[in-house]
């Protein structure tokens, strides 16, 4: 008797589940129907967006590192988000009242007149006059906006 009730209940569940699949309407709000041209158009728009987003250079900043030679006695001042790597020579930090230079490689903040370590990635967080003073002729790799004084 229990086995018959189990089979009847199982049959009812299968019938309800099967009817929901058979009678579901394609193109409804729960099962949208789209054309191939719509999908292709959406993919093309996404490609254009990604290309524009990652290949555009906003302002005068560049997406590649630029090698720059700075003679001794000159200042290299970066704008906000400028990345600087000292490759050779010597320089010291120019900071502002709001903080120093972010040394990403060392995980520290470089303070006023501290030496710049070679081959460390430095980031200028704000456009407030931060940068480096070159004490011996130096080569830098720079990404972003900067000026030499």
* 33-58 residue pLDDT tens: 778 887 888 888 888 877 777 665 54
CB 75 within 8 A of CB 124: no
Distance (Å, rounded) from C-alpha 149 to C-alpha 78?
A: 11
Instruction: Mean pLDDT check: name the lowest of 51-55, 62-66, 83-87, 117-121.
Output: 51-55
Is residue 52 assigned to a domain? Answer: no
Confidence (pLDDT) at 54: 67
Residue 109: CATH number of its domain: 2.60.120.10
Tokens 């058979």 sit on residue: 22
Mean pLDDT of the chain: 83
| Stated pTM of the model | 0.58
Is residue 144 assigned to a domain? Answer: yes
Confidence (pLDDT) at 23: 56
Does one domain contain both 73 and 144?
yes
Dihedral sign for Cα atoms in the order 46, 51, 54, 56: negative
Is residue 58 assigned to a domain? Answer: no
Does one domain contain both 28 and 78?
no
Does one domain contain both 72 and 7?
no
As given in the structure block, the two tokens for residue 54 are 């990652």
Is residue 60 assigned to a domain? Answer: no
Confidence (pLDDT) at 58: 45
């Amino acid at each position: 008797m229990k086995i018959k009730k189990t089979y009847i209940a199982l049959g009812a569940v299968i019938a309800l589940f099967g009817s929901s699949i058979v009678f579901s309407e394609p193109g409804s709000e729960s099962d949208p129907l789209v054309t191939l041209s719509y999908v292709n158009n959406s993919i093309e728009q996404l490609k254009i967006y990604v290309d524009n987003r990652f290949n555009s250079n906003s302002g005068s900043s560049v997406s590649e590192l630029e090698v720059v030679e700075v003679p001794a006695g000159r200042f290299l001042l970066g704008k906000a988000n400028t990345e600087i790597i000292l490759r050779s020579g010597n320089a010291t930090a120019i900071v502002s009242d709001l903080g120093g230079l972010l040394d990403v490689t060392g995980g520290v903040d470089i303070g006023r007149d501290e030496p710049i370590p070679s081959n460390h990635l430095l980031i200028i967080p704000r456009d407030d006059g931060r940068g480096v003073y070159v004490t011996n002729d130096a080569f830098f790799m720079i990404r972003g906006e900067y000026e030499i004084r």
